[in-house]
Every structure is written in C-alpha cells, then in structure tokens.
Amino acid sequence: MKKIPLGLISLVLWAVSVSVLLYFFFSGNVSESIDGRVAIHLNPQEKNLVLTEMRGLLASVNGIVSALAEDDYKKAELAASASGMEMVKKLEDEEKTILLKLPIEFKQLGFGTHDQFDKIAEDLRQKKDTKIILKELDKLTQNCVRCHATYKIAF
C-alpha cells in the first residue's frame, strides 16, 4: 500500500477549508424567501444587531433631514457621522461572526451605505449647497430601498 505524504494531506485539507470559508464569505447563509427576496439566516441576537444598526441608519437620515430643515449644518453633520464607518468600527467585534452569514452583495451595500454617510458628513462640513447634499442623500436612500427590496432577515 502506497503512503500519502503528510504534506499533501495537509495541503488538501487547507485547500478544502479555504474553499468552504470563501464560499460562505461570498454566498452567506441564505435561501430564497416566499416573497422572492433573499432570506439571510441569522440567529435572534444577530438579527437584533442588524436591525438595530438599520434603525440607527434611519435615525441618522431623519437627523440629517430635520437639521437641514433648520439650516443647522453642524447638527446634520453629527447625524451623518453617527452612521459612517465609525459605526462599523464600533460594531466590528460583534459583527465578525455575522459576516460569514451575509452574502457579498449585502456587505457591499452595507459598507457603501456607511461610506455614503461619511461623504454626506464631509459635504455638510464644507457647507455644500443643500441640493448637492439632497442628491447624496438620495443615493444613500436608494441603497436602503434596494437592500430592503432584495433581502430579508430570517432565522
């Protein structure tokens, strides 16, 4: 009987492990929902974290709009900054376990949305015209609409 070298076995196991990890990183833990959206399967704590983050994003949008209605650029900037990439950094430890369950497109939408909040905060810092800021806010809310039309959180 021919012996298989230990190095070859290790290499094959490593390749299989990396392949599985990459598969889940890109595709996530998903299925098709009865309403045609992609159902992302999370446990109750993970679902709560994602939905809490989304409520924070909506609160920031509301803060931007209400502050702009009062011509308070500083208050609007603070609302936008609250949901920028700093929010991601604050939630980083809690979200590490979730990241493998989320499909790549969902991650891209999420990170793009946080980046867009930072862009809006910068525009507000520079006191750009309200029409420019509203166009950027439109881009941001299009991400929200696309995400909610495409995905749902399930158990």
DSSP-derived letter for residue 95 is H
Beta strands in the chain (DSSP E): 30-32, 38-41, 151-154
In angstroms, how far is the first alpha carbon of the chain from the final one?
Answer: 48
Domain range annotation of the chain:
29-153
pLDDT tens figures, 22-72: 665 566 788 999 999 999 999 999 999 999 999 999 999 999 999 999 999
Q: What is the pTM of this model?
A: 0.82
d(CA 78, CA 84): 10
